[in-house]
Amino acid sequence: MSVKILGIESSCDETAASVSLDGRTILSNIVASQVEEHKKFGGVVPEIASRRHAENILEVVRAALDEAKCGLPDIDGIAVTYAPGLIGALLVGTSFAKGLAMAADKPLIPVHHIAGHIASNYIAHPDLEPPYLCLVASGGHSQITEVLSYTKFRVIGRTRDDAAGEAFDKCARVLGYPYPGGVHIDRAAKKGDPDKYKLPIPKVTGSEYDFSFSGLKTAVINLAHNAEQKGETLDSDSLAASFQKTAAEMLVSKTVEAAKAFGYKTVAVAGGVSANSGVRELMLHECGKRGIKVYLPPLDLCGDNGAMIACQGYYDFLDGKRADESLNAVATLSLEDI
């Protein structure tokens, strides 16, 4: 029997819904992005995000069902992102999914957003199976996670301060690019000299696989301010390239060290920053040298989307994960605590 899961995502600034068939086949994937509206403010405004989710969610879910050519009776379960994320934004998705599950008498499946990002690789790579190591780098999170099974995770490294995507966005802002800046840094970096500016790689004491991005971000801000004070013109393409090279080295070197230490021969990358060409190339290069197989999500599944929730929802469904009408949204929740 085939299993169809409707996945709903509203943890940040994308209202998204998708229908998966037996987990890895995506029948529809609808994303209503609010990015143009938040751009005006230089970042996501939580209250605006919640309001737009409330306005768009019904239409997005309807479109996902229509595109998948199915109605609610054909759906076996309703999966929804309940954590982590912006609380008001999450509440729209969870409340909507609860109402829908009750009205249609369908099981409700609570999905962790990071588990969803990890699942994005299952959609594109039918041969990828746990166990493996996954680097998750997004606007809100940076972590190295052992994917022990489809539904069990152990986080072995995390950021002490900023997430990787946050550092990309702040660096982009300093260089005058609009929010979200990661993609602009990526484009500018292609035109610049990555060795022109020497930027620090911070030492993180305590845990070998933890990251720290605040020092790197501050170094870029200081360089830009000093140049401004002296009336010098910065080579912004080269600063973007130098920043990207350093950030990629930080993310990739810790992941490769962790793979070596924990004996993993398979590494995946997920989250918004997995779209970064510098991170993708360096991961392929460093893992290739060591005989480690790398899985990267297609660019359209790197950022937030409903397909990853519909896919992870399938595995959570098989695992018996269910929520009742008391399901609440949770702003901060480790992948290990689900």
Q: Is 272 in the site for ligand KG4 (CB under 6 A)?
A: yes
Of positions 116, 139, 157, 306, contacts ligand KG4 by CB under 6 A: 139
Q: What angle, 0 to 180 degrees and rounded to 10, lies between the N-to-C axes of helices 277-289 and 182-189?
A: 70
Q: Of how many residues is the chain composed?
A: 338
The stretch among 26-34, 92-100, 191-199, 266-274 that binds ligand KG4 (CB under 6 A) is: 266-274
Tokens 């690789």 appear where? 121
Question: With CB cut-offs between 5 and 8 Å by kind, which of ligand KG4, Zn ion, none does residue 177 bind?
Answer: none
> Using the rule CB under 6 A, is 93 a contact of ligand KG4?
no
240 binds ligand KG4 (CB under 6 A): no
Q: Residue 276 contacts by C-beta under 8 Å, 6 or more apart in sequence? A: 168, 182, 186, 244, 248
Pair 18, 309: CB distance under 8 Å: yes
Distance from C-alpha of 159 to C-alpha of 167, rounded to nearest angstrom: 11
Task: By CB under 6 A, tell whether 304 contacts ligand KG4.
Answer: yes
- In the region spanning residues 168 to 207, those forming contacts with ligand KG4, defined by CB under 6 A, are 168-169, 180-183, 186
- Cβ burial of 331 (10 Å; 0-12, 13-18, 19+) is middle
Q: How many residues bind ligand KG4 (CB under 6 A)?
A: 19
CB of residue 185 vs ligand KG4: minimum separation in angstroms? 6
- 296, 266 contact by CB (below 8 A): no
Q: Is 26 helix (H, G, I), strand (E, B) or coil?
A: strand
Give the closest residue to 319 by CA, choosing from 132, 112, 103, 73.
112
Stretch that binds ligand KG4, among 69-77, 87-95, 162-170, 284-292 (CB under 6 A): 162-170
Q: How far is the CB of 205 from Zn ion (least distance, A)?
A: 29
CB of 122 to ligand KG4, least distance (A): 16
- Sites of contact with ligand KG4 (CB under 6 A): 12, 138-140, 165, 168-169, 180-183, 186, 271-273, 275-276, 303-304
